[in-house]
Amino acid sequence: MTGNRQTRGNMIFLVSLAIGLVVAIAVVGLMFNRVLLERTRAQFALDSLALTLASKINPGDRVGQINGLEESSRELVFTTRQAVNACSSQELEGFTRLSNLLLDEARSGHDLVEKERRNQIAIIRKEVLEAVHSYETKREENGAMSFMSIKTNDPKVVRVDLGRIKNVDSNIESLDAIPELCQFDRLNGYVDSRSRLFKCDVNAKLPYADADLYFRFCALPAFVGKTCSPPRNTNFDAFKSFGRIFVNGVDTSEACDDIPDAIQITTNMDVDMADVARKQSSLATLSAVSTSVCSGAASESE
Amino acid sequence: MIICSRLTLLCRRREGASLVEVTVGSVVLFFVVIILVDLGLLIYGVSLNDAVCRDAARKSASGNPINAEQRALLFVDQMNSRNSGFVSHFRLVPPVKAEITSQPKLRRNPENDQLVNPGGLVTGSVTVTTEVEIKPLALQFVLGRNSPLRFQSKQSFPISYVQPPD
């Protein structure tokens, strides 16, 4: 009897065990594969969102136009200061008053440009945040997607940074129209020696009495030949942050001093496993980062 | 003699029973493995189609929206030439939809009073649908060789294009 109990049904048991094992391994493999697929899907959705938001930074070439205004204002202040100095050195009292008046106008014009620059930073920030909130609202409305007992949501935005792309200068070229200013800019390293474009991470101060004015150019891909750079996704290493404007569903008050030309978004996507009892257990949180740069300067601002 | 012959019969029965169990179990295991291979193939094909669709959407969204379908078609053809075997028949399902939300408006040139294109950013999205045919090993015999399984994927990506000025 004992012998019968030991041998009968052993093979059935072993074969059933083998089948169960194969099926279990296959199920684990398929679930792992699904998590990887969800990661790819999340990255694609994030790239798409980042590109959409980057397109909102420079529509109508507003960043390029601000850079152009900065340069014009800078030249105007420099030339009017030259006129004031020339009048006083030649003792032309009648013209001195007029040139001083023009200088005051040029300086107050620069104040307006600076205000507008700050205004553009605020507008870009507001528009990007509105788009992020709109995305988050849609994401919550869409709800979760369930397949093969794995439940996923659309990626949740956890962080939004505004900034610029490293090694990209402004779109404004230093012209030789005012040789003294051109030489001054080169000596002070305001201009890239090869491209002759104004650098974006410096305060391009004017000499002497006008050194108190703040001239800051924004990074923006220049208009080259007949080509304007389109918005595109780029490597996250190339990004330099000016400030974090959105963290975990909350708008921050972190200030940005420069107009951004790029955006970096970080998202988290929860992958949950729904069991038989309809209780959920978190399987993984997939994090993804995407960086996008806005469209470059259009021909008008060159 | 009687006892001995009964023992022999009992041993033969046990060996035979094990053989039958292994045979039946192996057949079941074989079908389970085949079904799992088929399932794996289906999932692989569907995920590959998703990837092709995503990349086709990216490619077609990068550039002039007028030529979006051509770019997507070219990419799908490239993928078909690269892949081989069970999952190789990707097909672009027309039309490739380019939804433009904003584009540069024509301006009137004051010098000659003609409308000119000032150039500028084009925004919107391109939607691409691709289809793949998968011929699973076992299901082929059930469904017939000329009726492969078809799966579709639909993906959208924002347009990345700046229209050059006239």
Handedness of CA A21, A23, A28, A30 (dihedral sign): positive
Q: Taking the mean position of all CA atoms in its chain, how far away is CA A85?
A: 43
pLDDT at B158: 92
pTM: 0.84
Residue B128 has pLDDT above 90, yes or no: yes
A278 touches chain B (CB under 8 A): no
Looking at the partner chain, which of B28, B43, B51 has a beta carbon nearest the beta carbon of A19?
B28
Instruction: Give the model's confidence band at A1: pLDDT under 50 very low, under 70 low, under 90 confident, else very high.
Output: very low
- Tell me the pLDDT of chain A averaged across its residues: 85
- What's the rounded Cα separation, in Å, for the pair A164 and A124? 13
Looking at chain B, which residue has its C-alpha nearest residue A57?
A: B121
Mean pLDDT across the stretch A83-105? 86
Residue B15 has pLDDT above 80, yes or no: no
Which residue, among B69, B70, B71, B92, has the nearest Cα to B80 in the 3D structure? B92
**Interface predicted TM-score (ipTM):** 0.80
pLDDT at A302: 45
CB atoms within 10 A of CB A176: 9
User: Helix H segments across A56-92?
Assistant: 62-89
Mean pLDDT across the stretch A35-42? 84
Instruction: Copy the structure tokens of residue A225.
Output: 């030949």
Question: What crossing angle do the helices spanning A93-142 and A10-55 adopt, rounded to 10°?
Answer: 150
- What's the rounded Cα separation, in Å, for the pair A164 and B57? 26
B165 touches chain A (CB under 8 A): yes
Contact between B25 and A11 using a beta-carbon 8 Å cutoff: yes
Instruction: Give the model's confidence band at B3: pLDDT under 50 very low, under 70 low, under 90 confident, else very high.
Output: low
- What's the rounded Cα separation, in Å, for the pair B102 and A12? 68
Looking at the partner chain, which of A7, A40, A51 has a beta carbon nearest the beta carbon of B160?
A51
- What's the rounded Cα separation, in Å, for the pair A72 and A198? 13
Mean pLDDT across the stretch B11-27? 73
Let me know if A268 is exposed, middle or buried by CB neighbors in 10 A (0-12, 13-18, 19+): middle
Determine the distance in angstroms separating the CA of A75 from the nearest CA of chain B, rounded to an integer: 27
Residues A174-231: tens digit of each pLDDT: 877 888 888 888 888 898 888 888 988 888 888 888 888 889 898 888 888 778 889 9
In A87-185, at which residue ranges do the beta strands (DSSP E only) sit? 145-147, 150-152, 156-165
Phi, psi of A160 (to 5 degrees): -130, 125
pLDDT at B112: 82
Per the model's pLDDT, the better-predicted residue between B151 and A280 turns out to be B151
Phi, psi of B154 (to 5 degrees): -130, 125
Determine the distance in angstroms separating the CA of B81 from the nearest CA of chain A, rounded to an integer: 23
Handedness of CA A198, A253, A243, A249 (dihedral sign): negative
Instruction: Give the model's confidence band at A285: pLDDT under 50 very low, under 70 low, under 90 confident, else very high.
Output: confident
Residues A184-199: tens digit of each pLDDT: 888 888 988 888 889 8
Looking at chain A, which residue has its C-alpha nearest residue B11?
A: A4
B157 touches chain A (CB under 8 A): yes
A27 touches chain B (CB under 8 A): no
Looking at the partner chain, which of B25, B155, B161 has a beta carbon nearest the beta carbon of A15?
B25
Determine the distance in angstroms separating the CA of B120 from the nearest CA of chain A, rounded to an integer: 7
Residues B141-151: tens digit of each pLDDT: 776 666 778 88
- What's the rounded Cα separation, in Å, for the pair B164 and A59? 14
pLDDT at A281: 66
Q: Taking the mean position of all CA atoms in its chain, how far away is CA A267?
A: 14
Q: Coil, strand or helix: which one is A141?
A: helix
Residue A279 has pLDDT above 80, yes or no: no
Let me know if B134 is exposed, middle or buried by CB neighbors in 10 A (0-12, 13-18, 19+): buried
- What's the rounded Cα separation, in Å, for the pair A180 and A202? 19
Instruction: Give the model's confidence band at A53: pLDDT under 50 very low, under 70 low, under 90 confident, else very high.
Output: very high
Let me know if A238 is exposed, middle or buried by CB neighbors in 10 A (0-12, 13-18, 19+): middle
Let me know if B78 is exposed, middle or buried by CB neighbors in 10 A (0-12, 13-18, 19+): middle
Let me know: does A88 contact A21? Beta carbons within 8 Å: no
Instruction: Copy the structure tokens of residue A216.
Output: 């800051």
Looking at the partner chain, which of A11, A22, A226 has a beta carbon nearest the beta carbon of B22?
A11
Q: What angle do CA A83, A66, B114 make, to 5 degrees?
A: 100
Whole-number Cα distances in Å, A30 to A25, A84, A286: 9, 78, 17
Phi, psi of B104 (to 5 degrees): -60, 140
- What's the rounded Cα separation, in Å, for the pair A132 and A62? 21
Let me know if A99 is exposed, middle or buried by CB neighbors in 10 A (0-12, 13-18, 19+): buried
B29 touches chain A (CB under 8 A): yes
Contact between A8 and B121 using a beta-carbon 8 Å cutoff: no
B34 touches chain A (CB under 8 A): no
Which residue, among A268, A226, A292, has the nearest Cα to B61 in the 3D structure? A292
